[in-house]
A and B are shown apart, each in its own frame.
Chain A
Amino acid sequence: MAHVLVVTSGKGGVGKTTSTAALGAALASAGERVVVIDFDVGLRNLDLLMGAERRVVYDLIHVVQGAAKLTQALIRDKRIDSLFLLAASQTRDKDALTEEGVERVIRELRPFFDWIICDSPAGIERGASLAMRYADSAIVVANPEVSSVRDSDRIIGLLDSTTTKARHGEQMEKYLLLTRYDAARASRGEMLGVEDVLDILCIPLLGIIPESKEVLNASNVGTPVTLNNPASAPARAYNDVARRLKGEEVPLVVPSDKSGLLNKLFGRRAA
């Protein structure tokens, strides 16, 4: 039976979709059966980051409304056999998502997968609410920046009050994924540090993804960063996160500013 994971944040542009694609690919590469579902109805992008934008025929809304079967709407990844995508609708609006429909889709997917990863839209409206509703645990994506941390705090409150798990009096597991972390700026006191964010949000840290050009390079070509350049720093960080999700003990090292004094003096201008 699959574990249902929601990737959420409140604020937009912090890396939810990038993280969903990267983690989905990393888990599937490790032999897990994974389906990633885009809940951003009207503004879908997970298909684009997965490189499947020209293969979408049926989407989540079609399945929710019974216009298509799940087997017709699931798109198998061309690189990894055990990775599937369920795209969001680009033409419908978010009201087309119904509570019963989403619940049924997740129930029907559960027996066939190890992981169901729900990519939440930004905001706290219907799409975001339904993406988290049936989750077993949540990855809260945040940047080390005030507006993102504030919105994450709000989302943590909603995860603890509006999800099915919370309504049944169970504890919703929540993990922080800190993205776009710049160790050099944090060490200079120009960016919130890992400890600063953890002090405020008070949820366990799942991983730290360093700020990197590789993320844009990967999205440009429609390949999750973990597949596009597996040796890159963000890919390695995402792979570590995937292993932690599987229950492996992977030491979490806070990236430090390794550049020397000369680099600091002369490298800053180039950065």
Chain B
Amino acid sequence: MRLMTLFNRQPTAKTAQHRLQVLLMHERGGPGNTDLIPILREDIVAAISKRIPVDPDKVQVKVERGESVSLLEIDIEISTITQHLLQRRPASYDLPRAAGAR
């Protein structure tokens, strides 16, 4: 058993180097970069709230940082009551007319 673990051991230094490279690439972007997510979240809440009532706590914004591509994940939970209202399209939440439409 001891011998098995001896030979199966995966070198971990490469993983460490890779994790550092990805992390520092983002951290070196400067302090403004770290505030991006909260600002983006506020913008999203404000934009959605114009049309649908949303609880700001139910808006999740996450970023998964990859080496070449990062994934921005936005998760907005709206209550079923809101969905019901949406279907009936009350005047207060009516969509504006598209530009140029009559």
Q: Which residues of A contact B (CB under 8 A)?
A: 145-146, 149-150, 153-154, 157, 186, 188-193, 196, 199-200
Contact = CB atoms under 8 A, between A and B. Distances in A.
Given A153-B27, A154-B27, A190 B17 contact: no
A162 to B, nearest CB: 12
A248 B13 CA distance: 33
Given A153-B27, A154-B27, A188 B21 contact: no
7 contacts: A153-B28, A190-B11, A196-B17, A199-B17, A200-B20, A200-B21, A200-B24
B71 interface: no
Secondary structure type dominating chain A contacts: helix
Contacts, number: 37
Interface of B: 9, 11-14, 16-17, 19-21, 23-24, 27-28
A196 B21 CA distance: 10
Secondary structure type dominating chain B contacts: helix
Contacts of B23: 150
A155 to B, nearest CB: 12
Task: Rank and list the top 8 A-B pairs by shortest CB-CB distance, nearest first.
Answer: A189-B11, A196-B17, A189-B13, A146-B16, A192-B13, A153-B24, A192-B16, A200-B20
A192 B17 CA distance: 7
